Structure 1
């Protein structure tokens, strides 16, 4: 295996409620067709809208692939832009999932911090993608909505010490096509990988300085 290859896992959600075709999974499938370049191994997964499945699936993806980055994509009926979520929250999960279940504790990880931020600077990603003239509006949010999207994001951030991202997309055709959303995901994730690389280089430098001293 090529050691220079970076591994990225991207997930979208299956159908729920009025979203009989979930725009997030359509967008992820479009991204899979496009790829992230020769040096990135991309794995795509469709996640059912069920708390208990998320609790077992998200940790298993981290253990199986040891990815550089996991990006979760979800649909928001209220979104009109592609929205980068800065953080995941632990408490307040009262909405029932597709199995009519919600956690008794109404939280993701009992005893976990209330909020976990991504190590990726979403404002910077947003600015860079917007400046690239992609033609898809991108924005940043601090509230992923306290449903399966937020639940998945927090679980992943907890597992990865912040090396995860969450992107909300609008429903298909409101205003973007699946192809548009796939291209947007490609541009966004490439920027995220670049920022992560810079972060890693900075951390390695600090580590070297500590060793020398």
Structure 2
């Protein structure tokens, strides 16, 4: 059975990022490929709150992926960073359309923080021990801008079956090939964990029916 994976990235340059390293990394990952049983769909997300509000519910409902991985660029990152959680409040910065939600939050009445079902510490440990030559770290703060906003929305819609990877700007210190290889390794580990969780669920259900 194929695992349906959605990969979202920010195509548009924003702020000081004239070349968006997340787009470059995802292009490189597509070139490298993933396991044969992975049905990979890549989708570009505009740096706009309202686009996220309309695009993500459609994506989750229409395609029902097992996992959605978002990839964004962080100007302050020096490692490839795995985000553990998304936050509901604190969105005060305007987007590429000079828009900011009046409520400054993602989901009215939603929990303040939603954690991914993926064990980011374990993914980080596995990738770092594989001697890939790219440092991976873990973070609990995706930045209260479009990255964090998108991640929270996706975690909310997908009941935690989402992940967010921040990459540093190109050449600081990694090139496109480095970022692509890191993304390939990270997503591979994440899919393995999602697969194990689904197997555990099936065993649990069969066990319950057996009783």
Pairwise TM-score range, normalised by the shorter structure: over 0.9
2-side partners of 1:142 and 1:203: how far apart? 27
| 1:190 matched residue in structure 2 | 188
User: Within 5 Å, which residues of 2 pair with 1:43-192?
Assistant: 43-192=41-190
Instruction: Extract unaligned runs of 5+ from structure 2.
Output: none
Deviation, 1:173, is 0.3
Work out the number of aligned pairs and report it.
210
SS at match of 1:19: coil
1:157-213: CA deviation from partner (whole Å, max 9, x where unpaired): 001000000000000000001111111111000000101111112222222232233
- Report the TM-score, using the length of structure 1 for normalisation: 0.96
- Equivalence for 1:40: 38
| Secondary structure of 1:120 counterpart | coil
- For structure 1, the 5+ residue unaligned runs are none
**Superposed structure 1 runs of 4+ greater than 3 Å apart:** none
| 1: CA distance, partners of 2:210 / 2:109 | 37
Deviation at 1:21, TM superposition (A): 1.1
1:21-40 equivalent positions in 2, closer than 5 A: 21-40=19-38
Secondary structure class of the residue paired with 2:156: helix
Cα distance in 2 between the residues matched to 1:206 and 1:177: 44
Cα root mean square deviation, aligned: 1.0
Cα deviation for residue 35 of structure 1 reads 1.5
Q: Deviations over 1:50-75 (max 9, x none)?
A: 00001111111112221111000011
Asked if structure 2 preserves the Cα contact closer than 8 Å seen for 1:7 and 1:67, the reply is yes
Helix, strand or coil at the partner of 1:139: strand
Give, in whole Å, the separation in 2 of the partners of 1:91 and 1:53: 18
